[in-house]
Structure 1
Amino acid sequence: MIATHPHSRSVLITGASSGIGAASAHRLAAEGWRVFACARRAEKLERLAEQEGIIPLVCDVTDADQVRAVLDEVSEAGGIDTLINVAGGALGTESVAEAEPEDWRWMFEANVMGTLNTLQAFLPMLRAHGHGTVLNVTSTAGTVAYEGGSGYNAAKFAQHGVTGALRLEEAEHNVRVLEVLPGMVHTEEFSAKRMRGDAAAAAAVYRGVEDPLSADDVAEVIAHAVSLPHHINLDQITVRPVAQAAHHKVIRTG
């Protein structure tokens, strides 16, 4: 059970139209938070906003101008004390020798530059609040490299590095910086996009794995982390299914 914060809490969640972002929006809104749900796809956001407490904001976080427009809307609505960066993704499983540079550019824009844009826009607000929180959802791919993961590894290693530097820089402003590093999470879109719409290849990622994590599982961890008293900083939370002991060891049955 997540403890109820004694005061009203407000959060901006990027990548909120599906997967971990959407699950986190639902979870925090159910816990009484005011949730600004930010994503590119208006139709998915509108369905998400059917839940009380969720305010949809259409925005591509790789576009700094759009992020600044969201900042204006959030400011007019009273601001936030918490920023959760979920937007990102993987594209392709090619080796370094065969990788498409455009795929790498997309991954850096989505995972790294999108995070930078929201941080630069909202850090002044979080500092002014006095008890601000940033939580970046990175990946275990940001700490351990693996074959076929080079582009995603590179982007997530970069996002992981940004998060570590940010924690050092913002401590003097009493902004706590948390990082959640999920391992194998079975969501409806992540592997499908990575495999360029090849449903069979996407399904094979999870075949035989007993109880891979769900988006709701990760959302539970996120909600717990940001709901703790502000002086408690969970620097890095690695979360994996039991069947995934490490990147190189995944138990598959059948």
Structure 2
Amino acid sequence: MKTALITGASSGIGKATARIFAEEGFNLILCGRRQQKLEELQQELQNKCAVHLLNFDVRNKEEVFSNIKSLPLKMANIDILINNAGNAHGLDPIQDGNIEDWDAMIDINVKGLLYISKAIIPKMIERSTGHIINIGSTAGKEVYPNGNVYCASKHAVDAITQGMRLDLNGKGIRIGAINPGMVETEFSEVRFKGDKEKAKKVYEGFKALQPEDIAEIIRFVVTRPSHVNIADLLVMCTSQASSTIVDKK
């Protein structure tokens, strides 16, 4: 039975992926900062599979490594890592950007991904098996006005993914990225500092991707035969042509 670790599992794509992995019967390690939401998800899924919770912030490297070391023996060998935790803060031109927002995006989107991967990859190498999927973004493929640092952080995810694939070639580990366009989650609410009305308008007038759409793609990717590695996948809704061009009615 495979064991999958999902960061950012308390909502959005992470939560949807946990539900779909539970249908596959995978053992789940669900990571996130919101303990109550993790516990609610555990309660929902525990009759389908084994679920272990890790409550920490991926920005804190000491917490990352201590939590991974604390895993029970039956969960210690992680077959699938979904680096999903990430965020966007603010939508300002570079000259007006908030430095705390910049730090948050770089610390979570880039450094957090690196910390988790660093904690897990050695055992994958020991076992000559594993699958890492980094959740990127269309923002990692292009740059849009006022996206500056967020786009930079997602370009970094793209570069790290490519670097992982090169450095781990021959180790039996599959490395890939899934890069979604606009997904209707808490993403915009976080970006706009909890302004629900402003966030709601982002998704008005068209059918955005849903978390379940990306989760289904993740399931497809991880269930391919071991000789198949889906290295890079860009996904947008039908109404979206680029990060900034969306057909809204």
**Normalized against structure 2, the TM-score is what?**
0.95
Distance 1:224 1:135 in 2: 12
- Once the 2 structures are TM-superposed, how far is the Cα of residue 167 of structure 1 from its aligned partner? 0.6
Q: Which residue number in structure 2 is paired with residue 130 of structure 1?
A: 128
Q: Cα deviation per residue 1:21-51 (whole Å; 9 max; x = unaligned)?
A: 1111111011111110011111010001011
Secondary structure, in 3 states, of the residue corresponding to 1:152? helix
Secondary structure, in 3 states, of the residue corresponding to 2:68? helix
Is residue 94 from structure 1 mapped to residue 92 from structure 2 by the alignment? yes
Is residue 223 from structure 1 mapped to residue 219 from structure 2 by the alignment? yes
Q: Which residue number in structure 2 is paired with residue 115 of structure 1?
A: 113
Is residue 212 from structure 1 mapped to residue 208 from structure 2 by the alignment? yes
Could you tell me which of 50, 58, 61 is aligned with 1:61?
Answer: 58
Contact preservation (8 Å) 2:139, 2:154 = yes
Identity of aligned residues (%): 36
Secondary structure, in 3 states, of the residue corresponding to 2:94? coil
Q: Cα deviation per residue 1:164-202 (whole Å; 9 max; x = unaligned)?
A: 111100112111101000001001x11001011111210
Count of residue pairs the alignment pairs up: 244
Could you tell me which of 143, 156, 168 is aligned with 1:158?
Answer: 156
**Normalized against structure 1, the TM-score is what?**
0.93
After superposition, residues 1-80 of structure 1 pair within 5 angstroms as 8-50=1-43, 51-52=45-46, 53=49, 54-74=51-71, 76-78=73-75, 79-80=77-78
Residue range with higher mean Cα deviation, 105-114 or 76-85: 76-85
Distance 1:46 1:94 in 2: 35
CA-atom RMSD in angstroms? 1.1
Distance 2:165 2:72 in 1: 24
Unmatched runs of 5 consecutive residues or more in structure 1: 1-7
Runs of 4+ with >6 A deviation: none
Distance 1:138 1:41 in 2: 22
Unmatched runs of 5 consecutive residues or more in structure 2: none
Counterpart of 1:184, as a letter, is M
Secondary structure, in 3 states, of the residue corresponding to 1:167? helix
